[in-house]
Structure 1
Amino acid sequence: MGLGLGLTDQDFGFEKVTKVKDLLPVLKERLPNSCNVINMAKNYHKFQNEMTFYILRAPRDTPNDDLWIIVTYAREDYGIDINISAPRNLNFSAEFKTALVTSGVIEWDEPFIFAATDASICNLIQDAVQEATGKDPSAGENLMFYASPQYHPLVTQFSVRGSTIEVKPLDVNDGAKFLVENWPFARTGSHAYVRKLIERNCSSGVYVDNRLVCGAALNGSGMITMLHTLPEFRHKGYATLCMNYFVQTLFKDNLIPCCTVETTNIASISLQRKIGLQVSHDVSYIPRS
């Protein structure tokens, strides 16, 4: 398969990609594990100042789709999110690790996190981080859930006596305020980050009598995030309603609905299964220690 990627000068093995859409056939072949990275590629036109795509080419005489793909997303609160799509056979992983450590693609002294890292390369990434920073990084274990093309929502509507319920995209101002105030990991810069996500991406909110009671956004790494229901409105099915709407909206936008859930979060895992999402693979989040 030939790729016309519009590559810039090679940087210690990595090459910057300017024709991001030409990566789509490769990423499509790697589904479902590449679900969030393919979403990033499809959303690149919305976040060209925040996203950068790089590849590490396979040695000569190997298929062009045997690429390591890295996508960085610069966010206002947590620094750089680093997303990787690896070849299925993990060819030339040692060369990838060396290039990762020695290149200028990652500023190792600045805040970063490897997001939704495939379990098959988790040890490799941890070794690279340890070698580059001198610190032993942790790895938060998660499951990647996604909706297959055969997805059918299990619940499409709710009726609550005496209340008017509406499901729609989040309002930028109210939505950003709602998500940030209820996100336990919010920090300085999170409001600007979340506001930008809602402005440029699809989102989902459940409004009861015009009050936002449940909402979620699509993050810079192409995944549904920050799902939250106000405590007094829980156990009424609003999270299910919110997620069903979000999944259908993402499909309409030609994106793949996906999210990660910590392996210890039994309630959230049950919710994803309830609405019909499937586990694609194990992933980890690896931050700079």
Structure 2
Amino acid sequence: MAFKLTTHQIPELMEILEKWIPESLQMYYLVKNSYKRNNEWPHIDVYVDTTDLEQLSSVLAVWFLNSQCTEKSYNFHTTDAQKLKSLMKITDAIDVENDEISSFHCENMAVDVVANFLKDEKCLKPMAIGPFYTFILDNIELVDQTARRVIPKKFSIAPLKVKHASYLYDMWSNMYGKLHAIESFEKAITHQPTLAIYNEKDEPVSWAVVREWGDIGSTYTLPDYRRRGFASILTAKLTQLLLESGEIPHIKIDRRNTASVTLHTKIGFKDVNNEMTKFKL
């Protein structure tokens, strides 16, 4: 069966998802960030496989990426592949023929279930992006040391501004194709912690964002400003902000990106072998 949760049921769901961390980190923070903002952002519908949440095994969150609710991202987490498969087939929340679908985000055992679902629905061969693996903070001392590094005087550190959403959108689109509406980046900058290093012209040259899934991401440094440790400093400072607010600092990394793995390991993050893959139609 498939059941759509009401707002008053979300706190109980969050308690269960919290018990499943780190495997459920992505779903946990997507639901948590939505709930604390009255489902205004991220705006999601949540479906589960049972009305008895103590027996819960599978969760589907449909994230509406724009204010018109026409562009969707599907997010999955499960502890039972067969029950997730049933949930996906029964619910009418997924319409691959008519929906303007951005992507499917899957954690761990949900990856194969979603891939087979898309095959059964005779979709055009989806592009798999990833897998990405969760790196969680393991050494606070290394983060604090990195955050204390001094940047050259002609640079400054401050949050991103909404007008900079186009930087994130263009960077992401160039790397992975169009996965998100630019509005989703505007909302992230408005609601989530962000930091950037600005040059003397007050232009961001390096930036990082705590995304709707709770991870530090969309990290990027313009080519002319690389090899100065900017990304490490920004990540470390955002990590401190997350710790101060009682959150779990974590990052999603493609292990084939050895430079990113090395960078984040050096500043205190540890791979916990939690997989996430995206499918883009």
What TM-score do the two structures reach when normalised by structure 1? 0.80
Provide the aligned length of Structure 1 versus Structure 2.
Answer: 267
* Aligned residue type for 1:98: S
* Aligned residue type for 2:104: F
Residue 104 of structure 1: aligned partner: 92
Q: CA deviation at 1:261?
A: 2.2
1:156 partnered with 2:147: yes
What TM-score do the two structures reach when normalised by structure 2? 0.82
Q: CA deviation at 1:243?
A: 0.7
Q: Distance in 2 between matches of 1:189 and 1:118?
A: 19
1:191-230 Cα distance to aligned partner (Å, 9 max, x none) = 3221111111111212243432111223333333321111
1:111-169 Cα distance to aligned partner (Å, 9 max, x none) = 14222x223232111111222344443433323233347634141233345x2443332
Change (3 A) 1:267 1:188: closer
Q: Distance in 2 between matches of 1:121 and 1:127?
A: 10
Q: Is the Cα–Cα contact under 8 Å of residues 203 and 218 in structure 1 kept in the other structure? A: yes
1:69-90 Cα distance to aligned partner (Å, 9 max, x none) = 2222111499322222222xx2
Q: Is the Cα–Cα contact under 8 Å of residues 76 and 110 in structure 2 kept in the other structure? A: no
Q: CA deviation at 1:13?
A: 2.0
Q: Distance in 1 between matches of 2:82 and 2:180?
A: 36
Residue 206 of structure 1: aligned partner: 197
Structure 2 unmatched runs, 5+: none
1:69 partnered with 2:59: yes
Structure 1 unmatched runs, 5+: 1-11
Q: Is the Cα–Cα contact under 8 Å of residues 216 and 225 in structure 1 kept in the other structure? A: yes
Q: Is the Cα–Cα contact under 8 Å of residues 206 and 241 in structure 1 kept in the other structure? A: no
* Residue correspondence of structure 1 range 117-136 to structure 2 within 5 A: 117-136=106-125
1:233 partnered with 2:221: no
Picking from 214, 220, 226, the partner of 1:222 is: 214
Change (3 A) 1:239 1:140: same
Q: CA deviation at 1:236?
A: 0.3
Partner secondary structure for residue 107 of structure 1: coil
Greater helix percent: which structure? 2
Q: Distance in 1 between matches of 2:76 and 2:104?
A: 8
Aligned-residue Cα RMSD (Å) equals: 2.8
Change (3 A) 1:103 1:134: same
Q: Is the Cα–Cα contact under 8 Å of residues 136 and 249 in structure 2 kept in the other structure? A: yes
1:182 partnered with 2:182: no
